[in-house]
Each structure stands twice: as C-alpha cells, then as structure tokens.
Chain A
C-alpha cells in the first residue's frame, strides 16, 4: 500500500500547455442525469414512475366499469402518481446537493451554480416529458387490451391537445418542486413546502372563494393551482391561458428567480 505512491503517482501537469476547454452544458446535464439515477433513492423514484404506470393501468383493467374503460381513465389513473413523483425527483435533484452535501464537490468542479441549476432543470423536464410519454404509451396499451377483454369498443377520448396540456400541467408541477428545492435547499423542507403549495394553498383559496365574493372573481388570476387545473379539463380559452401565465409568473417564475439569486450568493458547507 505504502509503495503505491512512488510507483504510480499521478503526474502533476504543472507545465500545462493549453488551458483546458470549458465544460459544455451538455456534459453537465449528462452528469446530472447520471446523478439522478445512480443512488437507490433516485433509481426507485424513476422506477416507481414506470411501476405505478403499469399498476394503474392494471387497476383500471381489473376494476373500472366497462363504460369507463376509455383512454381518459387510463391517462388520469397513470397521471396521478406521476404528478406526485415527478416533483419529488425535481426537489431531490436540487436539495441533495445541500442535504447530502455533494455540493462541495459539484460546485468546485463547476463553480457556476447557475449552470448546474440550469442543467438540473433541463434534466428534470427531460425526465418528466419522457416518463409521461412512456406513461401515455402504457395507457394506450391498456386502452387496446382493456376494451378487448371487456368486449367493448375502444374509446380514444383524449386528443393530442389534451395530452399536451397534461404534459404542460405535470411539467409545471415538477418545476414548482424544482423552484421550492432551489429556494429552500433542504429536502424535507422543500417536500413539506411542496405539499403546502399543492394541497393546502388551493384549499385555502377554495375556502376563501366560497366565503368571499370579491375573491371568487379574481381567484383564477391569483390561485395558481386553479389556473393550472384547467389544463386537465381540455382546451383552454385565451383568458385561461392568460390566467395561467400570470399565476405561473407570480408563483413559479419569480420565486425561482429569487431562489437562484439567493443560491448563487449562499455559502456551500
């Protein structure tokens, strides 16, 4: 053991001829993708998406009444667990740098935190889109097999626009988790905040809207989950898109910007 050092010491390249090339963003993203899968927790979160998609499809096949064996049933059965898991993946990809303290090496290998966050964001959205495509394919398979078993006609009651809206909605949910991860930088804290954000806040707004008439009118412009919920109900009107834009700006884009600024200035220990 003690002889190794002299036998094969890594030669310090003191007279380095050319300065090394900068690290491209694509490489950072590739490494971040690897990091999201190379731990048990990361692996099972990703595997969980596929497993739950299959389970949900099976459940619909087994338990759904014949007249509800439609593509929409499959899509929403698969979509629900995914809507929960994807934000968790996004949260952990950011917060583990702090909670697991890997940031010490990550941010010394790439001393530009904004680039790391950007790469993580790209990877998270990529994972979301791919897993939704997989889920939709599983659902489609179910919707071919299911009606055949039940002896009913196939019902393809979700068009490309609907599916796109679902992808947008889930991506926004995932980015919400991502934003909270960047802002809070602590796994448990960000996960709790996410549930406050996605469960508690809509309830509060709902109660407020029920009790106060003035709020009912502005709710679509204030309540982000109300505005995003429209994405699950088919095509949006121009006004609904505007409401989605306004609420997303206020509840997602701005806090994310604040989070990135704070994170770049923060201390990594």
Chain B
C-alpha cells in the first residue's frame, strides 16, 4: 500500500508536483501516467525519501519510508536503471544490495535467473550493458528482497518488445500475489495493458484517477462534423464541455463530455450536420490522456 497525500514540491518558481493525492492498493497494478516533465519521477523520489517534499506526506506500508527498518525487504525500488557504478559488474551490484538487506547469497543467482541475465553477462561491468540489460538488472535488484511493494519509474524504457511483454507478465503475476505495484510511464499503451488503476498527472497535478475501467467509461462522446466551431459553440451554450479531439486525425472531431444522445440533440437544434457520432470509448484511454494533459497544459500556459 502506498499513500500519497497533498504532496507538493517546489523548485524555486517551478511547482513540479502540485497537491498530489493518490493511493496504490495491494493486489493491483497502479499506472502513474503523464507526459514528460509531468512530475512522475519527482513524486516517486519523494515517496522513497530521496527528495524532500515542500509539503504533504507519503507513506509506504503504513510508514514513512525513512521509518522502515530494512526498506529493501518491504519496498522494491527502481528509479533509474542507469544510476549504477559503471565499474561494477551486474552481479556485484546485486551482491551489494543482497548484503545490505542481509539476504542469503543464493538470492542473487535466483534474481539473475529471473531476469534472464546469463552468468557471463552478470560478470560484465555495467558500463558495457545496454539500457535493456540495465533495466533487467534494476528489476532484479528491486525484487531481491521479495518486497510487498514495487515502485518502478518508467521500467519499460529500453526493453525490447519481448522484454516489455515479459515484464508485464512479471508485474501482473506479482500483483496477483497480493503485492502493490506502482509504475510510471509517459506512454499510455504501455500502461493501458497492465494497469488496474490509473493516476494521470499533467503539469504536476492529478488530472484523473480511478480504476481503468471507470476512466474508460467516462471517456464521453466523439463527434465528427464539418462545422466544428458551430457545434462547439452550441455545446458550450448548453453548458457541455468539449474539445477538439487529438486522437482522431483530420481535426474535424470533438470529444464531448456528455452522452451521444445529448450531443445529437444539441447538434440537431443548432442545425449542425454530423458525419459521425459515437461513444468515445473506442478511442480508448489515449483520447482521455491527450485531452486531460493538454487541458492542464493550456491552463498552465494561461496562468
């Protein structure tokens, strides 16, 4: 269980994380989704105590991270796979962590096996690792202590498609055994497949969160019309929010926060011809992701 409450982080004038509140629950994979620079890494660093928060609090397993007696046995953390001493071998990186946690040395071989690093690869220095190998090594280090919570920042970066699939299976399985898995990504497709819950962040602020299924359902209506402005004015006049869809090419589609039926009625009354009218569900979460993050970006620019 990870509980983040009203977390805020300011870097001078920049508010990297702005009043962020969410919970990642046991037995579920929580996807932390947001475009680059949204504040994902900063939030995760604050959760594990590497960055001090300006205000707010974060707890893991019911405690502040710093109050965990041997954090590696409770929380597996992978923030940046490249953050390893280039001159250490992969095996040595794991051995250092294994010793620090006080685990039996056999654990290192088990983990190397699990992430498919061969003995000869494990004997190479990290300097000579590809990003994908570093990512595997980082995941091995995170899993070393059989933690009940996993915190992974963009773990799919640098993995090949087979590797990404393997990781999904691993995390799914891990969550199914009751662990809390929190992973971040700036790519919706990556997260859409694996996450049970979503926390969407843009410009430091949470723009949507909840079970993935609910968020999908709330995606609204997609409407295509040759008279885009007329329709959006008519919708606005009826108090219905809409925005030009980014997920559909052509620039003649609106995503509307309302049922297709209502949208159809408004269009009819305004005398706007429609080319297409349907629930936006089909456009998937991407629509929502793009819309929501674009929205905060606009607000941010206006402010």
Q: Do A and B come from one complex?
A: yes
Residues of A at under 8 Å CB distance from B?
A: 1-2, 4-6, 8-16, 19-23, 27-28, 30-31, 34-35, 38-42, 96, 100-105, 107-112, 265, 267-269
Residue of A nearest to B67 (CB): A111
> Which residues of the partner chain A approach B45 to less than 8 Å between Cβ atoms?
267-269
CA distance A71 to B170 in the complex (A): 64
B220 within 8 A of A: no
> Which residues of the partner chain A approach B74 to less than 8 Å between Cβ atoms?
16, 20
The digit string for B264-283, where 1 denotes a CB below 8 A from any CB of A, is 00000000000000000000
Total residues of chain B contacting the partner, CB 8 A: 56
B258 within 8 A of A: no
Residue of B nearest to A23 (CB): B70
B215 within 8 A of A: no
Complex interface: stretch among B109-117, B206-214, B221-229: B109-117
> Which residues of the partner chain A approach B99 to less than 8 Å between Cβ atoms?
27, 30-31, 34
Q: With A12-B148, A102-B84, A105-B141 given, is the CB distance from A20 to B73 under 8 Å?
A: yes
CA distance A269 to B117 in the complex (A): 26
B77 within 8 A of A: yes
A8:B66 contact, CB within 8 angstroms: no
B52:A10 contact, CB within 8 angstroms: no
CA distance A101 to B52 in the complex (A): 17
CA distance A105 to B162 in the complex (A): 27
A267:B50 contact, CB within 8 angstroms: yes
Which of A103, A112, A265, A267 gathers the greatest number of chain B CB atoms within 10 Å? A267
Please give the distance in Å from B301's CB to the nearest CB on chain A: 27
Extra contacts, 14 of them, besides A1-B162, A5-B170, A9-B177 (Cβ < 8 A), are: A4-B113, A8-B110, A9-B173, A11-B146, A12-B148, A12-B179, A14-B179, A20-B69, A27-B102, A102-B85, A105-B83, A109-B71, A111-B68, A269-B51
Complex interface: stretch among B28-36, B86-94, B188-196, B237-245: B86-94
> Which residues of the partner chain B approach A27 to less than 8 Å between Cβ atoms?
99-100, 102
B155 within 8 A of A: no
Q: With A102-B84, A108-B50, A267-B45 given, is the CB distance from A9 to B170 under 8 Å?
A: yes
Q: With A1-B166, A4-B113, A268-B50 given, is the CB distance from A13 to B80 under 8 Å?
A: no
B289 within 8 A of A: no
Please give the distance in Å from B156's CB to the nearest CB on chain A: 15
> Which residues of the partner chain A approach B100 to less than 8 Å between Cβ atoms?
23, 27-28, 31, 109-110
A100:B86 contact, CB within 8 angstroms: yes
Residue of A nearest to B73 (CB): A20
A5:B169 contact, CB within 8 angstroms: yes
Please give the distance in Å from A117's CB to the nearest CB on chain B: 15
Which one of B26, B69, B169 lies within 8 Å of A14 (CB-CB)? B26
CA distance A22 to B82 in the complex (A): 28
Q: With A16-B74, A100-B85, A102-B85 given, is the CB distance from A38 to B143 under 8 Å?
A: no
19 sampled A-B residue pairs with Cβ under 8 A: A1-B162, A1-B166, A5-B166, A8-B110, A10-B143, A12-B148, A14-B178, A16-B74, A21-B102, A23-B100, A34-B95, A40-B87, A42-B87, A100-B83, A100-B86, A104-B79, A108-B49, A108-B71, A111-B65
